[in-house]
């Protein structure tokens, strides 16, 4: 039989792992990369806001809760959630990420991409995609 405290710790771990299943699938990236991508997405968020489009920057941190072994926390690839301009829909329209795997750094989303060094142009492309 387990002690009461270890049962509580185990339950906490299961709860955290269950509520973060989506985040566990996010690619792990070094802190410097996560910070850089978050800054680029924040600039895009500002440019979208100027056009009346609401976005929410999401940063993911994996917190490892274990009682016996130490495992460092890690960062997941950040993303910008872009919502439909019509507040009545209130749903996520696009998920924008930064891609710098090969070639130039890009903002990418389902059905589109734009150079990350031109956040105003990316905001225009996203705005057009949402309003047409």
Kindly report, residue by residue over 22-81, the tens digit of the pLDDT: 545 677 889 999 999 999 999 999 999 999 999 999 988 877 776 677 677 788 899 999
**Burial class of residue 91, CB neighbours in 10 A (0-12, 13-18, 19+):** exposed
Write down the pTM of the prediction.
Answer: 0.76
Give me the domain span that covers residue 53: 4-131
Greatest mean pLDDT among 29-33, 88-92, 94-98 lies in 94-98
Q: Mean pLDDT in the chain?
A: 80
Q: How many domains does the chain have?
A: 1
Q: Compute the distance between CA of residue 131 and CA of residue 125 in angstroms, rounded to an integer.
A: 10
């Amino acid at each position: 039989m387990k002690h009461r405290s270890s049962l509580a710790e185990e339950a906490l771990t299961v709860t955290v792992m269950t509520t973060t299943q989506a985040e566990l699938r996010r690619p792990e990236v070094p802190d410097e990369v996560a910070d850089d991508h978050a800054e680029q997405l924040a600039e895009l968020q500002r440019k979208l806001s100027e056009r009346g489009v609401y976005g929410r920057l999401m940063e993911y941190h994996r917190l490892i809760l274990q009682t016996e072994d130490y495992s460092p926390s890690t960062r997941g690839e950040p993303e910008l959630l872009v919502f439909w301009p019509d507040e009545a829909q209130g749903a996520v329209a696009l998920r924008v990420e930064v891609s710098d795997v090969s070639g130039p750094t890009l903002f990418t989303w389902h059905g589109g991409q734009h150079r990350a060094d031109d956040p105003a142009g990316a905001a225009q492309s996203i705005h057009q995609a949402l309003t047409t």
